[in-house]
Amino acid sequence: MYGSLDISTSALVAQRTRLNIVAANVANARNILNAQGEYDPYRRRFAVFGSGDPAGGSALGVHVAEIRLDEGPLRPVLEPGSPYADEDGYVYYPNVDPVIEQMNAMEAARAYEANISALEATKSMFSVALQIIA
């Protein structure tokens, strides 16, 4: 039963990481420059989960296997006056869709809650088990 806490915690960490990525996507939704100030539109990131918990050395649990870049098409916006416009006058903005990000955030939050419920159940089981002796 002790392992159950580790499993739920690994899921909480993974879901929070996912929520962090959503936050980063929304924050960078109109970001077309990279850290060096060059024209390099931000690409949407997303977390891919893998089962097992390598940090805890267990086959049970979940972890963020990798954070990938969304190679989908960027969003062209007609801004002929912009110094970053191409020959047709388009500036390419990040492929971040607020609707998708909102959905992801909700799913991550619900999954987080589901794991909290599991944690609560584990805690109740601990206290019930303690009552056998007390």
Partner 1 sequence: MIGGVTSTEGLATLERLVQFAGQRHRLIVNNIANFDTPGYRPTDVSVKDFQKQLGDAIDERRRGGRPAGPLDLKDSFQVEFSTHSLVLHPTPIGENILFHDGNDRDLERTMQDLVENFLTFRLASQLLRNRFDLLNTAIAERV
* Alpha carbon distance 49, 76 (integer Å): 31
Which residues from 63-92 bind partner 1, rule CB under 8 A?
none
C-alpha distances (whole Å) from 72 to each of 100, 106, 125 are 13, 22, 46
Nearest distance, CB of residue 88 and partner 1, angstroms:
35
d(CA 45, CA 31): 13
Residues β-bridged to residue 49: 64
Residues in a beta bridge with 90: 78
Q: Which of 35, 66, 81, 131 binds partner 1 (CB under 8 A)?
A: 131
Please select the residue that binds partner 1; options are 61, 74, 93, 95, rule is CB under 8 A.
61
* CB nearer to partner 1: pick between 23 and 121: 121
Residue with the two structure tokens 């047709």: 88
Residues in the chain: 134
Contacts (CB under 8 A) with partner 1, residues 25-54: 48-51
Q: Verify binding: residue 62, partner 1, rule CB under 8 A.
A: yes
Residues within the interface to partner 1 (CB under 8 A): 1, 3-4, 7-8, 10-11, 14-15, 18, 48-51, 60-62, 107-108, 111, 114-115, 117-118, 121-122, 124-125, 128-129, 131-132
